[in-house]
Structure 1
Amino acid sequence: MKAADLREKTPDQLRDELAALKKEQFNLRFRAATGQNENTARMKTVRRDVARVLTVLNQKAAAAVSQEA
């Protein structure tokens, strides 16, 4: 997932993406705890994707505030 692709999405789409990533992150943690995780590198990827989505959401919120002022 690239940040440029995320910047094209609306805040609602980003929140939906964030919810899906958080759910996947939970499932991966659960599988790791039970020893069923096959792709351990996916945990790192999902964690970074969550951070990217949150960063873009915060940038959009800051831009909206600065436009109002």
Structure 2
Amino acid sequence: MKANEIRSMSETELNAKLAELKKDLFMLRMQHATNHLDNPTRISATRRDIARVLTVIREKQLGR
């Protein structure tokens, strides 16, 4: 997910996307713990997406 895509979302969409990403991260962690995860790099990619969403949410709160 690119930062431009995230910046074009509204705050409610961002909060929904954040909840979805956190759920995905939880599921990826569970799959990793049970050795059913095919691509372990998806965990770090999902964490980066969460960080991007949180950054844009904070930017919007500060009015930038």
Same-fold status (TM-score > 0.5): yes
2:63 aligned counterpart, secondary structure: helix
Distance 2:36 2:51 in 1: 25
1:48 and 2:39 are equivalent in the alignment: no
Q: Normalising by the residue count of structure 1, what TM-score does the alignment of the two structures yield? A: 0.89
Match of 2:12? Answer: 12
* Pairing of 1:1-69 with structure 2 (within 5 A): 1-63=1-63
- Look up the equivalent residue of 1:37 and give its one-letter code: L
Deviating above 2 A after TM superposition, structure 1's stretches of 4 or more consecutive aligned residues are none
Task: Give RMSD over aligned pairs.
Answer: 1.0
Q: Percent identity?
A: 42
- The structure that is helix-richer by fraction is 1
Q: Residues 11-66 of structure 1: CA distance to partner in whole angstroms, max 9, x if unpaired?
A: 000000000000000000001111111110111110000000000000000008xx
Larger of the two Rg values belongs to structure: 1
In structure 1, runs of 5+ residues without a counterpart are 65-69
